[in-house]
Structure 1
Amino acid sequence: MERPTEELDRIVEMAWEDRTPFEAIFRQFELTEKEVIRLMRRELKPGAFRRWRKRVQNRPTKHEKLLPKKEPRFKSTRQKSISHNQIT
């Protein structure tokens, strides 16, 4: 099944982000890590793909199970609550 261009762009963007784990991409787009790698190989130029692979290999932030268990991030009392990309 061919994905819309906007969806492909979002997957590539999420894969490039350091703090977006592969599990988040799976939850949103149902793509496994192997499928994301295959998609990135197809969508990126060869040099960009090599830089991306070097960058994400062994990066703890790309795998939820490798992330250290920490306290919840600080949230200002002035910060609005956001759910499903909608400001509540």
Structure 2
Amino acid sequence: MSELNKLRWRCRRGTLELDLLLLRYLERAYLSATSEQQQAFLRILDLEDTELMPYLMADRLPVDATLAQLVIAIRSLPATLQTGEQAATINGAAN
């Protein structure tokens, strides 16, 4: 299994909202992110859903500045996907 597919699997959470937000970041920004941002994303994926939900649903920010910047970046990604991105996300989620 490729590293990207492993990350895609780790983005699957207990709620559809978290799934969509995390997958959106993975598909649109992760590969072009700095190594520090990528490490922060891995740390975000290690959080429990109960801790992650308030961060991504705009209730609060993590104390850690790097994680807080990542949370803001994840929240700010537009919700709509282009046709090619929809197919890539659907195909990637099926793998």
TM-score normalised to structure 2 length: 0.28
Higher helix residue share: 2
Higher strand residue share: 1
Larger radius of gyration: 1
TM-score normalised to structure 1 length: 0.29
